[in-house]
Structure 1
C-alpha cells in the first residue's frame, strides 16, 4: 500500500491513497498526528511518555513530505528540538482514518473578478444580471457606471427593489464632512478602518441589500472587502461543528446607542430559519457585553473567535478598491463587509434596498 499524494491545509493534512480497498483519501488534524507521532515514546516499550495535554494545541509542521517509496508521510515538527521526523505508514493511516473520504464545504471565495462587471460591456440589462449575480454570489461590483446614484435606484426599482430609509436618512453620504444625514456619530462617517460586519443587526428585519456607490476615492486607503457569510457558516460546520452549533443557537445582544437613536435586539449570529432565508447578524461594534453562564463563557468565545478568524483571513475575502463611478451591491443578510482606513476626501453614497 502506498500514498499517491498529500495536501497540507491550515488545520489538517489530506492524504490520498493509491487505488485499492478502503478510503480513497482521509483527513487528519495536525494535533492528532502530533499526538500519535513516534517522537514521544519510550525507546524500549514504545509506549507514550507524553500526554496530549503537554503538547501545543496548534502544532506547526516544519515540513511535510512523502517518503522516498511513497509508503509513508514524514513530518518534521517545529516544537521538537531534536528535529527528528515522525513517520506515518500508509497502512496505519488508512486503518485509523477517522475522516475517510470527507468532502468539506469550501471556504468563502475570494476572486473579485468572479463578481465584477464592466458597465460599458454589458450584453444584457444591468438589473436582471445584477439580481442573478446577487442570488449566486451574494455581491456584485460594477465598474465605470457613473456617479448618478438616482439612476442606479431606478435600475433596481424596475427589478422590484425599493429604497429603505433608516435613521440615517434615504441616502447616506459616507464622508468625514457629512452635513446631509442624521445620526452621523458612528464609524462610517470617519476615516477609520471598519472591520467585517453586517449593517443594522439591531433591527428585527435588517435591510436586505445595500448599495455602496463611490463618488470619490480617498487619497490613500479606503479599500473595500466582503466575505460570504453563508459559505463561511457552512465551512465552519464542516471543520468545527460545536462552534457552528453555538453560533446558531446562542442568543447575543446587539445594542446600537447614538445621540438620537437607540435599538436593542437579541438573536443568534447565524439564523437558518429566518423569514426569507439565511440571515447572519455580525457586528463587533454593536455587540453588548456577552452574558453566558460561567461554565459556558469560554466555549462561547472560542466559537465566536473561530468564526472571526475564518472570515478575517484575507484568503477568504473579496478585496477591491472602488473608483469614482464604481459601485458595490451586496446581500446584507448573507455578506459581511468592511473597509480599510483612508486619507483624503473619500465619498461613498450608501442606499438600502428591500424587495417590494
Structure 2
C-alpha cells in the first residue's frame, strides 16, 4: 500500500494511505521497531526499550526511496520501510503461512475422500511437500502412500518436516502385539478414540503411523475430528462445553521408568474462543478431584463428549495397507482401532511424532521457497 500523506505529532505519526484510510503509530512503537535496533544478521532485538523516553518526541517525517525517514528530538533518525508500516496498518497480526483454518469433518470424511499423497514427490519436491502439509493442517489428517518397504520410510517423510519428538516411548515406536506391554497400543484389544499422551505438559503434535503389515483379522483404524465434536457440543450443550474448557482434570502415565502427570482441561481455546486442542484419553485420565459441588455436572459434560466419540456420525474408518502411512494432528484428531486376532496374521505399525512448532516452521519456510520458485 502506498502512502498519500504523513502528519507529525510529537508522540504519534499519522499515515494516510492511498485508499484514504489512516493509521496512527505511537512514537514508542516506531522507535521499538526501528531497523537500527535489530542485529543485522540475526534480526533479534538489540534495543533497550527502557533506554527510551516513554513517548519519544517526533519532529519530522518524509518519504524517501521506499522508506519513511523519521527524525526525533533526541537526534535519532529512523528509516522505516513503508512495507513494515503497511503490514501493521490495521493493527492485526501479520500474515502467517501457518494460519490455515481447520476444515471440520464428520462421517463425510471417508476412506475415499481423505487427502492422499504419494511419498516420492513429498520426499523430492518442495511444492509436493507443501501441498501435502497444507492439506494435513486443514483437515488434521492425510494419508501418504507408496512408501518403501522398510521401517524408516515413514520417518524419512516426517523428517522432511523437522525434528522428531522424543517421548518416554522413544523417538520412534512399534505398534505391535507384544508381551508385557506398558501401553494398550501394544496389545490386540480394541482402542476407543483418544489422543496420545495427554499426560505430557505439551502433548505431541502430528503423529505418523506407517503400516508395514496389516494381515490380521480386524485391526481397522478409527479417526474422528475432535474439533468438530467440540463445536457440536458447544452448540448443543453450552454448559457442558464450558466445563470441559474451564475445569482441569488429571492425566497420568506411569510404568517402571516414568511417572508423568498434568492437570489440563479436555478442550483448550485460544484467546478468540476458537478450539485449538483436545486432550481426551479415558485410559489415562486420573481420579477426578474437582470440588464435589461441580462433580456431577462435570461428569455429565465429560460423558457428553465421550458419547460423541462413540457416535458413528463422526467416525472415519481406514484399513491401512502395507506401504500406507496415516498422518494426523494428535491434538485435534482422535484415533483408535478395532481389536484384531494376532493368530490370523501380523499387524505392525511404525510410529513417530513431529511437534506442531516444527510443522508450522516448515510451512513458513516452504511459503518462501515455493513462492520464490514460482517467481523464477
Q: TM-score range by the shorter chain?
A: 0.5 to 0.7
After TM superposition, list the pairs within 5 Å mapping 1:273-352 onto structure 2. Answer: 273=270, 278-344=276-342, 345-352=346-353
Secondary structure, aligned partner of 2:254: strand
Secondary structure, aligned partner of 1:348: strand
Query: Conserved in 2, the CA contact under 8 Å of 1:126 and 1:155?
Result: no
Query: Conserved in 2, the CA contact under 8 Å of 1:227 and 1:335?
Result: yes
Query: Conserved in 1, the CA contact under 8 Å of 2:244 and 2:267?
Result: yes
- Determine the C-alpha separation between the residues in 2 that align with 1:128 and 1:106: 22
Query: Conserved in 2, the CA contact under 8 Å of 1:110 and 1:319?
Result: no
1:109 Cα deviation from its structure 2 partner: 4.4
Secondary structure, aligned partner of 1:260: coil
- Determine the C-alpha separation between the residues in 2 that align with 1:337 and 1:190: 16
Q: Structure 1 120/296 Cα, relative in aligned 2: closer, same or farther at 3 Å?
A: closer
Q: Structure 1 129/189 Cα, relative in aligned 2: closer, same or farther at 3 Å?
A: same
Gaps of 5+ in 1: 1-104
After TM superposition, list the pairs within 5 Å mapping 1:1-356 onto structure 2. Answer: 109-117=108-116, 119=118, 126-159=128-161, 161-177=162-178, 184-273=181-270, 278-344=276-342, 345-354=346-355, 355-356=357-358
1:177 Cα deviation from its structure 2 partner: 3.4
TM superposition score normalised by structure 2: 0.60
- Determine the C-alpha separation between the residues in 2 that align with 1:117 and 1:146: 16
The runs of at least 4 aligned residues of structure 1 exceeding 6 Å deviation read 120-124
- Determine the C-alpha separation between the residues in 2 that align with 1:289 and 1:312: 22
Secondary structure, aligned partner of 1:278: strand
- Determine the C-alpha separation between the residues in 2 that align with 1:148 and 1:128: 24
Query: Conserved in 2, the CA contact under 8 Å of 1:112 and 1:318?
Result: yes
Query: Conserved in 1, the CA contact under 8 Å of 2:115 and 2:143?
Result: yes
Cα root mean square deviation, aligned:
2.5
TM superposition score normalised by structure 1: 0.64
Secondary structure, aligned partner of 1:162: coil
Query: Conserved in 2, the CA contact under 8 Å of 1:175 and 1:190?
Result: yes
Higher helix share: 2
Query: Conserved in 2, the CA contact under 8 Å of 1:167 and 1:261?
Result: yes
Gaps of 5+ in 2: 1-103, 359-376
1:224 Cα deviation from its structure 2 partner: 0.4
- Determine the C-alpha separation between the residues in 1 that align with 2:251 and 2:229: 21
- Determine the C-alpha separation between the residues in 2 that align with 1:174 and 1:298: 37
- Determine the C-alpha separation between the residues in 2 that align with 1:121 and 1:257: 39
